Amino acid sequence: MTTDAHDLRPPSGTPGLPSGFRWGVSTSAFQIEGAAAEDGRTPSIWDTFSRVPGAVTGGDTADVACDHYHRMPEDVALVAGLGVDTYRFSVAWPRVQPGGRGPVNARGLDFYDRLVDALLSAGVDPWITLHHWDLPQELEDAGGWAERGTAHRFADYALLVFGRLHDRVTTWTTLNEPWCVATYGYAEGTHAPGRRDRAAAVRAVHHQLLAHGEAVTRMRAASTRDGGHTFGITLNPTPTLPHTPEAKEAAEEAEAFGIRMYLEPLLRGHYPDTVLARLGREGFALPVEPGDLEVISAPLDVLGVNYYFTETVRADGTPVRDGATTALGWPVTPSGLTDLLVRLHRDHPGVPIVITENGAAFADAHLPHDQDRVDFLRAHIEAVAAAHAQGVDVRGYFAWTLLDNFEWAHGYGPTFGLFSVDRATQERTPKRSALWYRDFLKSRAAPTA
């Protein structure tokens, strides 16, 4: 795909986006912070999992990662230099509340306090994700997301962080991609905690949604701010298309378990009948207690959508990937983002959407032109603008991600960053895509003639 000709055109269609449209960049704590055992932080399930032989490619760990914990001011300067108005980051639960219960660890919370202040003084709005997969190991030892108590622990933790930062942070996302946690973490065992237990995975879905609802309800009750706070959750609703007419059922099933099982309890207060019926046939049950669905469907101010690709499946459910792909083999399907947004807006009107992650792994061999990433970002931003033009209430777009980082079970191999990171020196270098994004945002900010 890479050509010698540089194509640095800005995305088209974006003048149609409103002036308040948010432009951002996203990261997550575990993938960049390092400092795994510093200032009172205890292990998360990802610290444990990455030490299991064979669990992470190359045996990589995130003990050091991008050393962001020590280089935070430098990284905030990179964020500000992009000209984004929003930085979405996550808080490491085992740093703030070691072990997942009990009192706050002041040194851990101080880090995020400093980060928030640094962002605000650089003119960047902090957007917090309370939990991006790094569950305290002690909670996993007590059953993890398969246990109802973890939902209550999460709400307690959310309140600790909210109590300290709500005066400066407006937007609060509870969880990132609960589907991945349940599916990869509890059913397939390819992510932490590495369990292969479908019954536990089903329970993990419900308990994560409950955790979200309880945390939102309690944070909203604690919010004293004029104009209030914005509360949401980030999902990864992967659209799934049938490869042939015979594959229709398989595609619908994938979407029932990948999209509707999350959106419908959150936005309509019930699980889809097809999901309940299928689980029932297989002898699984969602551990729903009276009142849970009211908690889960507590009003949402924003739905975070992480979009990477649209999947196409055969009748047996296996994916067909015969078009352009990224270095991870993920299909490049920008028009699928427009379709998804239009569909979400049609099925769930009245819920503002922000693209909280979108990006691609492309090999560093493609530098310095970085044309594939530029093309990818441009096409997806255009897809967002096209959805907006069709009336979708989409209010922001955040690129994944600031830095080449610890890409979960893939280790440091796949590079999603706008900035590369020298693993030996930690030196950050902007890729062409970073400069392109910066120039695009600058052009939007410039007064029109």
- Residue numbers at the binding site for ligand FCB (CB under 6 A): 28, 31, 176-177, 180, 236, 306, 357, 400, 407-408, 416
> Residue 290 to residues 155, 287, 293, 296: CA-CA distances in angstroms?
18, 10, 8, 12
Radius of gyration of the chain (CA): 21
CB closer to ligand FCB, 171 vs 306: 306
User: Which ranges constitute the DSSP H helices of 126-194?
Assistant: 137-141, 148-165, 178-180
Consecutive H or E run containing 121: helix 106-121
Instruction: Give me the least distance between CB of 357 and ligand FCB, in Å please.
Output: 6
Using the structure block, give the residue that is written with the tokens 């999460």.
Answer: 154
CB closer to ligand FCB, 134 vs 264: 134
CB closer to ligand FCB, 338 vs 405: 405
- Please say if 407 is a catalytic residue: no
Instruction: Give me the least distance between CB of 56 and ligand FCB, in Å please.
Output: 13
Closest of 93, 6, 11, 54 to residue 368, by C-alpha = 6
CA distance 232 to 408: 24
Instruction: Give me the least distance between CB of 163 and ligand FCB, in Å please.
Output: 26
Q: Crossing angle, helix 198-222 and helix 148-165, to 10 degrees?
A: 30
CA distance 45 to 99: 11
The full DSSP string for 209-234 is HHHHHHHHHHHHHH---TT--EEEEE
Catalytic residue among 214, 357, 382, 407: 357
- Please say if 249 is a catalytic residue: no
Q: Is the dihedral of CA 64, 307, 216, 139 positive or negative?
A: negative
CB closer to ligand FCB, 28 vs 183: 28
CB closer to ligand FCB, 236 vs 338: 236
Catalytic residue among 177, 255, 311, 382: 177
| Secondary structure tally for the chain: helices H, strands E | 16, 12
CB closer to ligand FCB, 286 vs 381: 381
Q: Crossing angle, helix 261-268 and helix 198-222, to 10 degrees?
A: 30
**DSSP 8-state symbol, 307:** -
Instruction: Give me the least distance between CB of 293 and ligand FCB, in Å please.
Output: 26
Instruction: Give me the least distance between CB of 179 and ligand FCB, in Å please.
Output: 9
Whether the CB-CB separation of 139 and 148 falls below 8 Å is answered with no
What is the distance, to the nearest Å, from the Cα of residue 432 to the centroid of all Cα atoms in its chain? Answer: 24
Instruction: Give me the least distance between CB of 32 and ligand FCB, in Å please.
Output: 10
Instruction: Give me the least distance between CB of 416 and ligand FCB, in Å please.
Output: 5
- With H, G, I as helix, E, B as strand and everything else as coil, classify residue 397: strand
CB closer to ligand FCB, 142 vs 180: 180
> Residue 375 to residues 144, 157, 281: CA-CA distances in angstroms?
40, 40, 45
Active site residues: 177, 357
